[in-house]
Structure 1
Amino acid sequence: MPDRREFIRNLLLGSVGTFAVICNCQYASSQTRRKNSNTPLVEIPQRWWKPLPNNRLQCFICPLNCVLSNGQVCGCNTRLNVNGRLMTMAYGNPCIISLDPIEKLPLHHFLPGSQTMSIATAGCNLRCLYCQNWQQSQVRPDQLRNYNLPPAEAVKKAKEHGIRVIAYTYTEPVVFWEYAMDISERAKSEGLKNVVATALFMNREPVREWCKVTDAFAVALKGFDDEFYRKVVGAPLKPVLDAIVTVKSEGVWLELVTLIVPTLNDNMKQIRDMCLWVRRNLGAQVPLHFGRFVPEYKLRNLPRTPVQTLEQCRDIALDVGLQFVYLFNVAPHDANHTYCPKCKTAVIRRLGFKLTSNDLQRGICPKCKTRIPGIWQL
């Protein structure tokens, strides 16, 4: 297995070149092309959008349900109306390609210790004030330098380097859903796994379709207050909750992550309410990760989350009956590990995102023989 630097170097020296043109679509006018004239435009089949009179259209991939006049770009910064047809600027042109531990998504109950080929394009359909990747997520693809990585090439490169998991992460995969779907279908047909890190602000029917080719979701449930979601995240909360329940109902492996932002979503009553909702709607065995906020983007005035606050959140989650509760962006810490809910043995140990030991025997605790939920083998 190559290290990260070797992987990226080999990837770029091969048939995947930086800043290359994927397609010169005849519909790309000066109105839709901006800084990067090589930005691809790929037509989106009429499935999650509908035409409207006067060359207008409406997109239904996410709850923004954008209505676009000719030349306008969706709130996600990737889809646009070109003469009454919905096109995407986020197809085959990732701005991020990386080799990462699967624990970084975070996924702690899915093939621990695996490396992922992580892919992201520019754009996001949310406006989080504390976004850690705002330089990529809050701009359009035509405002960045991008790689040329068509779906077939992505799968080919992953296999050539012995990588069995492709991750769609860093920005918001909802905005490059068509690209992620095409990679995922090809990867699945060739025996690879697909995992998604997402805020899942998405309509339920496209979520169901996504579930057919996805093996695991790490969903950012950013808080449990609609006012917080609208003011800090830029969207209502309910569609996210509905989408999370949809993933669970489809039987796809699911883990949740909540970044705790001081003064904004660290109300312990709301944390308790959120944990109770998780237990009642998703079950006690869905892993929940509480993350430490690092000052970034428009919230650089706030401090890092105190570790004690994260520990309080974890104690509440365990108290309401959740069985697998983790802390991330804090290491070393005992809450990096996976514990058997019956005998409390640490069956998987981690140092931050690094796996240090895995004592599970085909998903079973070696001490008391309790089965630990998760996907433990390819």
Structure 2
Amino acid sequence: MHEARLYEKLEGGTVHCSLCPHRCTIREGKQGVCGVRINRGGTLYAATYGKISAEAVDPIEKKPLFHFLPGSLCYSLGTIGCNFHCSHCQNWHISQATLEQQMLRDLAPEEGVRRAVETGSASISWTYNEPTIWHEYPLAMGSLARQQGLGTVYVTNGYITEEGLREVAGMLNAFRVDIKAFSDTFYKKVCGGKLEPVLDATILAHELGLHVETVTLVIPGLNDSIEEMDSLIRWVLEHLGPDTPMHFTRFHPDYKMQDKGPTSVAQLEKIYEHAKSLGMHYPYLGNVMNHPYENTYCPECGAVAIERTGFATRVVGVEDHRCTACGGSITYVSKID
């Protein structure tokens, strides 16, 4: 196994991990909350380094990222484990899998980059499960990817320490973060974590110059009130700015949360319209096929700038980041420097 980064050796063979806000103290033979960072003989190992459970070439919009290389392909990798244990996880079969289940296969960082280039992908994303706990592997692969002109993406729950985020920021372009609710009670009960570290990491990602888009899965009766969404939207406006894309996605029953029905489209539309009324330039709905609120509109004149049907994307009203109807600015990442 590959030795982990960001940990401290303590007395008696115990180690202290500082990669995520759980900051686990791990005894000999044990593993952290994530299930994949393991203490062997007083050394912390990243047990999933170079090990993948899922590999695909996806439209970048599937992440979802709407303002990062729109219309391009993204080479996407996942492994197992997570530092959350969300009751509604849609990828629970890998996020909650254990090393003993033997569902992993090898992929060296160099080979991953080669495959990304070979498939015509414009970027690599670490996704499907939480990339934070895979830290050493994305760090190695991402550095190679940037040398090849590829973009790099974390599809993350945002539960990462300042130390961890600063270490990957040099190779990372985009931080697509779930803000699962705007309630610490929700995070503790549903996810097994806390809200504040997610907000802190998201602010830091923005300050470090990463492209940030937020996603909130709107769950009936748990986080779908206009009051809670109002607080979240105002927080994004204050700390990230009005050009930050915000995705409000429709919930479907899954994993341990089968007792909730799908989110009503009408409620999602209310949240979208409220975000617009508060001054957000780029709110979106997700998991609602063929809806006009999937499109990007010019913040100044309202003309369609980027049209989307599912994961199919057409840039119809933008040239050089300017609206072709009024000349207004349309903010998105069109190339990797």
Q: Could you tell me the TM-score, scaled by structure 2's length?
A: 0.97
Distance 1:144 1:323 in 2: 45
Distance 1:374 1:221 in 2: 21
Q: Do 2:57 and 2:121's aligned partners in 1 also have CA atoms closer than 8 Å?
A: no
Q: Do 2:123 and 2:153's aligned partners in 1 also have CA atoms closer than 8 Å?
A: yes
One of 81, 88, 100 as aligned partner of 2:46:
88
One of 42, 45, 50 as aligned partner of 2:2:
42
Gapped runs of 5+ residues in structure 2? Answer: none
Gapped runs of 5+ residues in structure 1? Answer: 1-40
Q: How does 1:139-178 map to 2 (within 5 A)?
A: 139-178=97-136
Aligned-pair identity (%)? 37
Q: Could you tell me the TM-score, scaled by structure 1's length?
A: 0.87
Distance 2:121 2:65 in 1: 16
User: Which residue in the other structure is 2:31 paired with?
Assistant: 73
1:265 is displaced (CA, Å) by: 0.7
Q: Do 1:95 and 1:144's aligned partners in 2 also have CA atoms closer than 8 Å?
A: no
Q: Do 1:80 and 1:88's aligned partners in 2 also have CA atoms closer than 8 Å?
A: yes
Q: Answer with 111-120 or 138-147: which moved more.
A: 138-147
1:357 is displaced (CA, Å) by: 4.0
Q: Which amino acid aligns with 2:3?
A: E
Q: Which amino acid aligns with 1:345?
A: A
User: Which residue in the other structure is 1:370 paired with?
Assistant: 328
1:118 aligns with 2:91: no
1:353 is displaced (CA, Å) by: 1.9
Q: Do 1:167 and 1:197's aligned partners in 2 also have CA atoms closer than 8 Å?
A: yes
One of 198, 201, 204 as aligned partner of 1:246:
204
Q: Answer with 53-62 or 132-141: which moved more.
A: 132-141
Q: Which amino acid aligns with 1:67?
A: T
Distance 1:375 1:358 in 2: 16
Distance 2:21 2:111 in 1: 31
User: Which residue in the other structure is 1:195 paired with?
Assistant: 153
Distance 1:70 1:141 in 2: 17
Distance 2:320 2:335 in 1: 8
1:266 aligns with 2:234: no
Structure (1 or 2) with the larger CA radius of gyration: 1
User: Which residue in the other structure is 1:315 paired with?
Assistant: 273
User: Which residue in the other structure is 2:195 paired with?
Assistant: 237
User: Runs of at least 4 residues of structure 1 off by over 2 A?
Assistant: 356-359
Q: Which amino acid aligns with 1:329?
A: N
One of 96, 100, 103 as aligned partner of 2:61:
103
Secondary structure in structure 2 of the residue aligned to 1:285: coil
Distance 2:9 2:64 in 1: 38
Q: Do 2:18 and 2:163's aligned partners in 1 also have CA atoms closer than 8 Å?
A: no
User: Which residue in the other structure is 2:185 paired with?
Assistant: 227
1:373 is displaced (CA, Å) by: 1.1
Question: May I ask how many residue pairs the two structures share in their alignment?
Answer: 336
